[in-house]
Structure 1
Amino acid sequence: MQLKSLVGLAGVLALAVISSAASACPEYLKGEYRKLHSKDSVNICELMENKTVLVVNTASHCGFTSQFKELEALHKKYKDKGLVVVGFASDDFKQEDADEEKAAEICYLNYGVTFTMLAPTHVTGEQANPVFKALASQAREPKWNFNKYLVGKDGKLVEYFGSTTKPDSPKLAAAIEQQL
């Protein structure tokens, strides 16, 4: 086989792998979401490619807001092993700061969050974003802030954890470790 044919074949195979990876991402995860207090966006499929994801609906003025610290600890502990933590800020329960800059300050400065935080979006009802609509159909809709949805590398929900399950819970850690 000639070199030109081999190079062409390699290109076709590379495109097939890329196309397969893109099509492997579930429809509900396809899309861009703006980062908290930023003009930058993140593609959820690219963010979670070959990773386990912990999706959390968050709020900056909630009794559970201190969970940001524990979520950051999970992020630091497992990020190199393949866990991605994604916080979806939401005011669906009237607990998010109306000023996105202040909400970001609470996350980034007060709690040292370095995991991906997204701009406020709906996580309940008809206006819920596609991620939360799909997760609600697989488990349940958030009834309050800081619900945790563990999503496997295949994009399917592994387990749901309510607001009262702390991020440092042994049960949550075991579920994460089983997926990594």
Structure 2
Amino acid sequence: MKLVVLILAAMMINHSADNVHQFTFTAIDGKQVNLSEFKGKKLLLVNTASECGFTKQYAGLQELSEKYADKVVVIGFPANNFGGQEPGSNVEIQGFCEKNFGVTFLLAEKSSVKGDDISPLFKYLTTTENVDFAGDIKWNFEKFLIDEKGNLIHRFRSKTEPLSDELISKL
């Protein structure tokens, strides 16, 4: 089964996507989500972790998702790529986010954002032709802002707070 998943992932990586609206992912509740569902709105895609120094950014992401719901859809992608800081199961992650930060924005199932098993979406985001936004994710809570047509328009590193003027000005 893992081999089939790897082959399909490799096929998607080799497929030349025009924008993020061509990608799907599995939500934390197991449902398939096609990013084309969000055409016409900006997306803020964030790799998250429950045991990171930046975990408190969940609160800012939740506030941003509520305050700017007419402009942007926030989607968190839990990942255990950095220091084992997302060790929980999907159920544990979802419970933690709801209990501690009141998270209601969309969460993906736990996936990889770096390395040999990187998800096709994050492979696409980190290999963009725009050199200002390309390159490996360095840590948890990096943020990718996507425009209404599915194009990457800005990348924010971990230290950029969700409600910072820098990020809000791009919405």
Give the shorter-chain TM-score range. Answer: 0.7 to 0.9
Equivalent residue number for residue 158 of structure 1: 153
1:104 matches 2:94: yes
- The structural deviation recorded for 1:28 is 4.6
Task: For 1:69 and 1:50, locate their aligned partners in 2 and report how far apart those are by CA, in whole Å.
Answer: 25
Task: For 1:130 and 1:27, locate their aligned partners in 2 and report how far apart those are by CA, in whole Å.
Answer: 12
Q: Secondary structure at the match of 2:68?
A: helix
Task: For 1:86 and 1:50, locate their aligned partners in 2 and report how far apart those are by CA, in whole Å.
Answer: 16
Q: Which ranges in structure 1 are unaligned for 5 or more consecutive residues?
A: 1-24
Output the TM-score relative to the length of structure 1.
0.77
- The structural deviation recorded for 1:55 is 0.6
Output the TM-score relative to the length of structure 2.
0.81
**Equivalent pairs, count:** 149
Q: 1:85 aligns with which of 74, 97, 105?
A: 74
CA deviations on 1:127-172 (whole Å, 9 max, x unpaired) are 2112111111122321110000111112111111000111111110
- Runs in 1 of length 4+ with deviation above 6 angstroms? none
Amino acid at match of 1:33: F
Q: Is contact 1:29–1:130 with CA below 8 Å preserved after alignment?
A: no
- The structural deviation recorded for 1:73 is 0.6
Q: Is contact 2:40–2:148 with CA below 8 Å preserved after alignment?
A: yes
CA deviations on 1:73-110 (whole Å, 9 max, x unpaired) are 11001112x21111111111111133222211111121
1:44 matches 2:39: no
Q: Which ranges in structure 2 are unaligned for 5 or more consecutive residues?
A: 1-16
Q: 2:22 aligns with which of 3, 12, 30?
A: 30
Amino acid at match of 1:148: K
Task: For 1:166 and 1:152, locate their aligned partners in 2 and report how far apart those are by CA, in whole Å.
Answer: 19
